[in-house]
């Protein structure tokens, strides 16, 4: 089977030749450590379409992206505003000013936001969510589609991400975003509708080219380790109708799979996402939130497909803990609808020998 055939069959609970073995991603510092510990020189991961890790570790490829942009376009210019020694103040492409470490893959810390009220939304953000803006479908799209279509369709084809609340939270900051349903519900309603309209407009243009992705990716990251940043009822009111609009439109054009990326404790929002047509969740972060792919399958059933959910701390510790965890997950892996990988990008505290042990344990299935 090709990677695409194995991937789609797994999601459909159909027979496969072997488990789908892949990885979501790697911290650069983890790969630097592994090279020092004997991994191949030149080991690199910069995304699913730009890495040497797939070949080095014999990993299956779970997505090839078409060059389509759903986010702000044109973006803000990325500019270093101030050098602060080990850190720097940077304006990001989303207009947010963040403090970014020059070393280690830590999350940049927001310092100031451009989006603060309706006037700044109308001046700086809404104009950048016009689906007709030139360049949203890259000039290389036809050749990318043709290369994938005529090259054996070896990996699942994807576009995305799309976000209905996660981007808004980024653009205006956590506190302002979580208070928006109470402070200015009409502005939130307008923002979400505008983002969704942009996504639908871009998807319509994509489908008019004849391109048909296997998977539409969503990104939210709107859950902490104890629960979501938006109340489930607010998510049902403001977000659910637009998830449904997008997934229904895509299904009418032959797209079957909708994968959503969210860290943290996701169980409170899972019903909303499933009702909205999302059918794959990842990376199912374990951490202190305690997500468990086995328990989630028992609770939400076979309509919920999952990717991820292997505790990075267990991989770091290695030894019998890896063997025990893979044995625990084995029935779920064999049942289908689940693709295991580390519950976030593999961090630098994982020794190379332990990662190899983890891959070997999966392959013995």
Of 39, 1, 7, nearest to 341 (Cα)?
7
Q: What is the pLDDT of residues 158-199, one digit of tens each?
A: 999 999 999 999 999 999 999 999 999 999 999 999 999 999
Q: Which helix (H) or strand (E) holds 201?
A: helix 185-208
Q: What average pLDDT does this structure show over 241-258?
A: 98
Of 98, 96, 100, 95, nearest to 75 (Cα)?
95
List, in sequence order, every beta strand (DSSP E) within the chain: 64-65, 79-84, 87-91, 97-101, 109-112, 157-162, 215-219, 257-261, 280-282, 305-307, 338-339
Q: What is the pLDDT of residues 267-300, one digit of tens each?
A: 999 999 999 999 999 999 998 888 999 999 999 9
Of the pLDDT bands very low, low, confident and very high (cuts 50, 70, 90), residue 104 is low
Q: What is the pLDDT of residues 9-40, one digit of tens each?
A: 999 999 999 999 999 999 999 999 999 999 99
Q: Where are the domains of the chain?
A: 3-74+115-363, 77-113
Is pLDDT of 106 > 70?
no
How large is the angle between the packed helices 185-208 and 240-252, nearest 10 degrees? 10
Q: What is the pLDDT of residues 142-153, one digit of tens each?
A: 999 999 999 999
Is pLDDT of 114 > 90?
yes
Q: What token pair was written down for 250?
A: 């895509």
Q: Are 269 and 232 in contact (CB under 8 A)?
A: yes
Counting DSSP H helices and E strands in the chain, the numbers are 15, 11
Q: What token pair was written down for 143?
A: 């050749």
Q: Which CATH number fits domain 3-74+115-363: 2.40.110.10, 3.20.20.210, 3.55.40.20, 3.30.365.10?
A: 3.20.20.210
Return the ∠ at Cα 303 (arms to 300 and 308), rounded to 5°: 80
Q: What token pair was written down for 327?
A: 């044995």
Of 225, 282, 268, 273, nearest to 22 (Cα)?
282
How confident is the model at residue 135, as a pLDDT? 96
Average pLDDT, the chain: 96
Quickly list DSSP for 276-324.
TT--EEE----TTTT--HHHHHHHH-TT-EEE--B-HHHHHH-THHHHH
Of 349, 355, 337, 350, nearest to 20 (Cα)?
337
Of the pLDDT bands very low, low, confident and very high (cuts 50, 70, 90), residue 105 is low
Cβ neighbourhood burial of 177 (10 Å; 0-12, 13-18, 19+): buried
Is pLDDT of 360 > 90?
yes
């Amino acid at each position: 089977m090709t990677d695409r055939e194995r991937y789609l069959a797994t999601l459909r609970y159909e027979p496969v030749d072997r488990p789908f073995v892949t990885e979501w991603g790697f911290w650069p510092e983890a790969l630097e450590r592994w090279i020092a510990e004997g991994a191949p020189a030149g080991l690199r991961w910069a995304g699913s379409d730009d890495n040497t890790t797939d070949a080095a570790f014999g990993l299956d490829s779970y997505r090839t992206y078409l060059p389509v942009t759903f986010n702000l376009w044109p973006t803000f210019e990325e500019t270093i505003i101030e050098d602060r020694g080990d850190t720097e103040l940077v304006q990001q492409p989303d207009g947010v000013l963040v403090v970014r470490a020059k070393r280690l893959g830590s999350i940049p810390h927001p310092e100031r936001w451009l989006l603060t009220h309706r006037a700044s939304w109308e001046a700086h953000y809404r104009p950048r969510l016009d689906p007709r803006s030139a360049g949203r479908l890259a000039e290389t799209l036809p050749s990318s589609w043709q290369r994938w279509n005529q090259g054996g369709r070896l990996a699942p084809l994807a576009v995305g991400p799309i976000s209905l609340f996660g981007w808004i939270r980024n653009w205006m900051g956590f506190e302002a975003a979580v208070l928006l349903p109470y402070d200015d519900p009409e502005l939130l309603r307008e923002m979400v509708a505008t983002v969704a309209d942009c996504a639908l407009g871009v998807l319509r243009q994509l489908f008019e080219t004849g391109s048909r992705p296997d998977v539409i990716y969503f990104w939210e990251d709107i859950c902490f380790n104890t629960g979501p940043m938006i109340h489930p009822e607010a998510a049902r009111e403001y977000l659910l109708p637009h998830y449904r609009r997008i997934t229904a439109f895509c299904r009418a054009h032959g797209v079957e799979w909708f994968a959503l990326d969210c860290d943290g404790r996701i169980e409170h929002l899972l019903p909303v996402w499933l009702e909205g047509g999302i059918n794959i969740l990842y990376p199912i972060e374990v951490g202190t939130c305690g997500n468990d792919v086995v328990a989630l399958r028992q609770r939400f059933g076979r309509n919920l497909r999952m990717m991820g959910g292997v505790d990075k701390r267990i991989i770091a510790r290695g030894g019998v803990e890896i063997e025990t965890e893979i044995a625990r997950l084995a029935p779920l892996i064999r049942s289908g609808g689940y693709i295991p990988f580390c519950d976030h990008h593999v961090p630098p505290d994982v020794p190379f020998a332990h990662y190899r042990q983890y891959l070997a344990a999966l392959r013995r299935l």
